[in-house]
């Protein structure tokens, strides 16, 4: 039976801007390739990944009453995601992300939150029964933090596993959030910003996990790009190797694919963590070989071919 996962998060119109090189201050450069638009947002990407890779996903979020919002809602609905708790706000535009793509596949992202920043505690309370009846609740930081705290309080009271993907990282998160987080999943940069420890070697990873434990988070997973994934869960820690990718095309949704894929496979008691990470690594390795965010996320059958 498919796991029920609730995602509290963002829906963005992604605007991809391919560059031959990053401009320096004052420089004007001509694009050698056309820019493009696609469905995205960390919340939406993670929701699609979880849905495609084996879960039944329910979404809590907001869009504007505009063409971008309609496109995003239609896209999620077509994936099979339950969007009954996605509000359509007439006083806000749909969120936008401007994604600068370099030739090596790396990216720089600027986000304008729009309707995502108007997801409210009231909207979360309206979704109380949905949260209580889910297996895993996932949130990121492209919405305001107050509804995340509210949702995690509801989830913890109901014994629901909570996962926080702390992206984009913020250093002024409320102290009350951290004890409500069962699993925190930063990348290297986010880990450094949130704990003050660079994530460059095994001792660093352990220090990051210890810093999160001091905040009240018992379980830490750090995504390390091509170096793999570090986990410190239930007192056990290790690094799971990444799948090697010879020619990455676009890393935009790699982290989101990992989160959604891992959650789709993960047992709420974390008993199959290593297998879930290996599955998620395989899914991410496929994502980075394709252009775009949401459209680059693989289906479950494709991941199976990588794992065979």
Q: Is 228 annotated as a binding residue?
A: yes
Residue 134 in marked binding region: no
165 is in an annotated binding site: no
Nearest to 44 by CA among 146, 115, 149, 145: 115
Predicted confidence (pLDDT) per residue in 237-254, tens digit: 999 998 888 788 877 789
Given a cut of 90, whether residue 265 has pLDDT beyond it is yes
Give the residue with greater pLDDT, 307 vs 61: 61
pLDDT score of 23:
87
CA distance 250 to 100: 10
The pLDDT > 90 percentage for the chain reads: 76
Q: Is 107 annotated as a binding residue?
A: no
Provide mean pLDDT across the span 271-296: 90
Domains of the chain plus CATH, in order, are 40-58+117-307 (3.40.1190.20)
Q: At residue 297, does pLDDT exceed 90?
A: yes
190 vs 248, more confident: 190
Residues 252-261 pLDDT 10s? 789 999 999 9
Give pLDDT tens digits for 77-90.
Answer: 999 999 999 999 99
Q: Give 163-211 as a DSSP string.
A: EE---S--TT--TTTGGG-SEE--BHHHHHHHHS---SSHHHHHHHHHH
Structure tokens at 1: 């039976």
Tokens of 252: 């935009």
Binning pLDDT at 50, 70 and 90, where does residue 32 land?
A: confident
pLDDT at residue 104, rounded to an integer: 80
Residue 100 to residue 154: CA distance in whole angstroms: 37
CB 241 within 8 A of CB 278: no
Question: Three-class SS of residue 272?
Answer: coil
**63 belongs to an annotated ligand binding site:** no
For residue 308, is pLDDT > 90? no
Q: Which residues are the active-site residues? A: 256
pLDDT per position as a tens digit, 122-161:
999 999 999 999 999 999 999 999 999 999 999 999 999 9
The answer to whether the annotation marks 13 as part of a ligand binding site is yes
Residue 232 annotated as binding site: no
| Bigger pLDDT: 88 vs 293 | 88
Check if the beta carbon of residue 287 is closer than 8 Å to that of residue 253. Answer: yes
Sheet holding 136-139, edge to edge: 82-89, 56-64, 4-8, 136-139, 161-164, 183-184, 219-223, 229-233, 236-240
More confident residue, 74 or 35: 74
226 annotated binding-site participant: yes
Distance CA 172, CA 93 (A): 26
Checking if the pLDDT of 292 tops 80, the result is no
Does 144 show up as a binding residue in the annotation?
no
The arithmetic mean of pLDDT across residues 231-235, rounded, is 95
At 193, the pLDDT band (50, 70, 90 cuts) reads very high
Q: What does the pLDDT read at residue 16?
A: 83
């Amino acid at each position: 039976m498919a796991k029920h996962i609730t995602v509290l998060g963002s829906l963005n119109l992604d605007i991809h801007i391919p560059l031959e090189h990053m401009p320096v201050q004052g420089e004007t450069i001509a694009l050698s390739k056309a820019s493009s638009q696609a469905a995205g947002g960390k919340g939406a990407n993670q929701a699609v990944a979880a849905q495609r890779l084996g879960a039944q996903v329910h979404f809590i979020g907001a869009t504007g009453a505009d063409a971008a919002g309609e496109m995003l809602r239609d896209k999620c609905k077509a994936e099979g995601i339950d969007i009954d708790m996605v509000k359509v706000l007439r006083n806000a535009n749909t969120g936008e992300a401007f994604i600068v793509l370099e030739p090596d596949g790396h990216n720089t992202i600027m986000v304008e939150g729009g309707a995502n920043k108007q997801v409210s505690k009231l909207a979360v309370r309206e979704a109380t029964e949905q949260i209580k009846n889910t297996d895993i609740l996932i949130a990121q930081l492209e919405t305001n933090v107050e509804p995340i705290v509210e949702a995690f309080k509801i989830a913890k009271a109901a014994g629901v596993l909570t996962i926080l993907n702390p992206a984009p990282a913020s250093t002024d998160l409320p102290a009350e959030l951290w004890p409500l987080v069962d699993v925190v999943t930063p990348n290297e940069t986010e880990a450094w910003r949130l704990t003050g420890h660079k994530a460059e070697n095994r001792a660093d990873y352990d220090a990051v996990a210890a810093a999160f434990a001091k905040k009240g988070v018992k379980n830490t997973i750090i995504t390390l790009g091509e170096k793999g994934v570090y986990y410190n869960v239930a007192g056990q820690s290790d690094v799971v190797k990444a799948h090697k990718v010879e020619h990455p095309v676009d890393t935009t949704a790699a982290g989101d694919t990992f989160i959604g894929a891992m959650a789709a496979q993960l047992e709420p008691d974390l008993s199959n963590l290593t297998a879930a990470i290996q599955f998620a690594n395989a899914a991410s390795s496929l994502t980075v070989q394709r252009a775009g965010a949401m459209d680059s996320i693989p289906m479950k059958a494709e991941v199976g071919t990588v794992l065979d």
